[in-house]
Chain A
Amino acid sequence: MAREATARLYDVDVDSVVTKRLTESGKYDTGAVSFRAKKGRLIDLDKLHESVWATRLSGGTSSGLVSLEVTAIGDVVANEREAILKVSGSAAHFVLAKNSDDAHKAAYDDLRSALDRGESVVEVTGRLDGWSGRWPEVLRTLPPKPRRILVTAFETTKEK
């Protein structure tokens, strides 16, 4: 009941939160928590960071944050040096960058090619740079800004 009461106050759709165990080997488990904003709302990463910090996770173990993958919607503008996603409905923006992961390293180049063809990039998914590490060190300070999304996928519209 407290969980539902808390969820009603904020922007995360409580029905969207799903936890899934990915691996288990001995005492070290890996799991994923997926979540989505309520319709018409956005989730603030500063507050997410603050909230995780409030769980007071202990150090001295191998537990920690493996990664945080996010999806943001907006308009991507680019020059020769960089591409930036300006978030719709917010003053926030993300710098987009290449993912070093073999499975996704082409995604950023594909995004740049789509922009060169005149397509509008309207949605970007990727790992947040700097959002990984062991507890509690990873939580002591906010990762640097501007935030960088290491692109794994994107959506475009043809019109421009």
Chain B
Amino acid sequence: MRTSSWLAAFACSVLVASSVSAQVVRGVMTVTGAEMH
């Protein structure tokens, strides 16, 4: 449950990331999580 929560938080971060002056077509964000709020 903890893992799915922080992964969901990052997924949402990606979803709201957008732009008009942008640079990349795709990416992979690797994160480590512990006791995340």
Q: A and B: partners?
A: yes
Query: Which A residues lie at the B interface, using CB under 8 A?
Result: 3, 6-7, 9-12, 14, 16-17, 19, 21-22, 24, 27-37, 41-48, 50-52, 54-58, 61-73, 87, 90-92, 94, 147
When the two chains form their complex, are residues A70 and B27 in contact, meaning their CB atoms are under 8 A apart?
yes
With A3-B15, A10-B17, A43-B22: A31-B33 Cβ-Cβ less than 8 Å: yes
Interface residues of B in 1-37 (CB under 8 A from A): 2-3, 6-37
Q: Contacting A33 at CB < 8 Å: which of B20, B22, B23, B28?
A: B28
When the two chains form their complex, are residues B19 and A47 in contact, meaning their CB atoms are under 8 A apart?
yes
Complex Cα–Cα for A11 and B26 (A): 11
Question: Using Cβ atoms and an 8 Å threshold, which residues of chain A touch B3?
Answer: 21, 24, 29, 31
When the two chains form their complex, are residues A35 and B31 in contact, meaning their CB atoms are under 8 A apart?
no
Question: Using Cβ atoms and an 8 Å threshold, which residues of chain A touch B30?
Answer: 22, 30-32, 65-69
When the two chains form their complex, are residues A68 and B33 in contact, meaning their CB atoms are under 8 A apart?
no
Query: B36 to nearest A CB, angstroms?
Result: 5
Query: A99 to nearest B CB, angstroms?
Result: 15
When the two chains form their complex, are residues A73 and B25 in contact, meaning their CB atoms are under 8 A apart?
yes
Q: Which DSSP category, helix, strand, loop or mixed, fits chain B's interface?
A: mixed
Complex Cα–Cα for A92 and B21 (A): 8
Question: Using Cβ atoms and an 8 Å threshold, which residues of chain B touch A51?
Answer: 13-14, 16-17
Q: Contacting B11 at CB < 8 Å: which of A17, A47, A90?
A: A17
When the two chains form their complex, are residues B22 and A61 in contact, meaning their CB atoms are under 8 A apart?
no
With A6-B15, A19-B8, A48-B14: A63-B22 Cβ-Cβ less than 8 Å: no
With A10-B18, A12-B17, A17-B14: A69-B27 Cβ-Cβ less than 8 Å: yes
When the two chains form their complex, are residues A35 and B19 in contact, meaning their CB atoms are under 8 A apart?
no
Query: A24 to nearest B CB, angstroms?
Result: 7
Question: Using Cβ atoms and an 8 Å threshold, which residues of chain B touch A37?
Answer: 22, 24-26
Complex Cα–Cα for A22 and B28 (A): 12
Complex Cα–Cα for A10 and B16 (A): 6
